[in-house]
Amino acid sequence: MSANGNVAPVIIKRKKVVGGDGHHGGAWKVAYADFVTAMMAFFLLMWLLNATTEKQRKGIADYFSPTIPVNRISGGGSGMFGGNSVFSEETLPQNGTGASNRNPTSSDQARGDTGTSDKDAGAQMELAKIEDVLYGRGGESMVAENELRHVILKSTDEGLVVELFELPDSRLFGENGSPTQVLIALGRAIREVSRTVSNPIAVEGHVPTQPVVVAQKNDWELSVERGQMMRRLLEELGIDAARFGRVTGHADRELVNDNPMSLRNSRLEIIFLRDDGV
């Protein structure tokens, strides 16, 4: 028997060390952090919605989806070395920012939301001027902060709508239906902004639904009466009677609040009509 036969065999044991089971890893921490961040953002959004007024929320919404193009000049040029950009008329022809120069030719003119004609562009500029004067974007506002709570501006196909609505702590109409000092102050502001443009004016009255216990509902008469009252007030403040194209009462047929009896549905709309028609 050889001498090497008495040597014990060498056994090498290799132990595989695993970094940890799945539930002991760190991946769940990333997912949990994302969840907490999302919840924090959600509750912050809820708080902001509760802390802002309806006018402020509409201003934020209009900022992210403007109805009036701010700048119709894109980065693409039309000269000798002009190039293309993501805002050129071939890429985004419908958003109002695709013109390649300040006087685009018929071959490269962009079609924005306000149309392509000089007449439409001029009408849009006139309506934007009313908004700037009313909100004081070029200086001091024509309306005090308390009265501005009653005002919402909307740009429609018909023109610029100045909506004046009632608030529980600040009414536009007195007990006998006469205009309050708040409505008179708003009328003075509308008179001032009307001097900056020559657009014809329409006045529309809206009222909330009256309770069913009322013996005789007069929603139509009341809405027309309030519209006529606003027209007379604006005339007394100095607006030419010839500028009024129509006075309309809509009763409770066009509600802005799901609750038909909500005070929010009590409102007046002064519309600066486009010059292309009443």
Overall average pLDDT of the 85-94 stretch: 43
Asked if residues 265 and 208 have their Cβ atoms less than 8 Å apart, the reply is yes
CATH architecture of the domain with residue range 117-278: 2-Layer Sandwich (3.30)
- Give the whole-angstrom CA distance, residue 147 versus residue 132: 16
pLDDT at 43 over 70: yes
User: Using one digit for the tens of pLDDT, what is the confidence trace for 65-77?
Assistant: 755 444 444 444 4
Instruction: Output 189 or 78, whichever has higher pLDDT.
Output: 189
| Among the ranges given (23-27, 106-110, 145-149), the one the predictor scored with the smallest mean pLDDT | 106-110
Report the pLDDT averaged over residues 221-241. 95
Question: Is pLDDT of 254 > 70?
Answer: yes
Task: Enumerate the CATH 3.30.1330.60 domain ranges in the chain, comma separated.
Answer: 117-278
DSSP structural state of residue 112:
B
Strand arrangement, sheet containing 151-155:
151-155, 159-165, 267-273, 201-206, 244-249
Instruction: Check whether 120 has a pLDDT greater than 90.
Output: no
In this prediction, residue 138 has a pLDDT band, given cuts at 50, 70 and 90, of low
Answer yes or no: are the C-beta atoms of 74 and 100 closer than 8 Å.
yes
The mean of the pLDDT values for the chain is 75
Q: How confident is the model at residue 122 (pLDDT cuts 50, 70, 90)?
A: low
Give the strand pairing for 201-206 and 244-249: parallel
- For 122, phi then psi, to 5°, come to -65, -40
CA–CA gap between residue 97 and residue 70 (Å, rounded): 8
Which residues, at least 6 apart from 64, have a Cβ–Cβ distance to it below 8 Å? none
Of 131, 161, 277, 263, the residue nearest 208 (C-alpha): 263
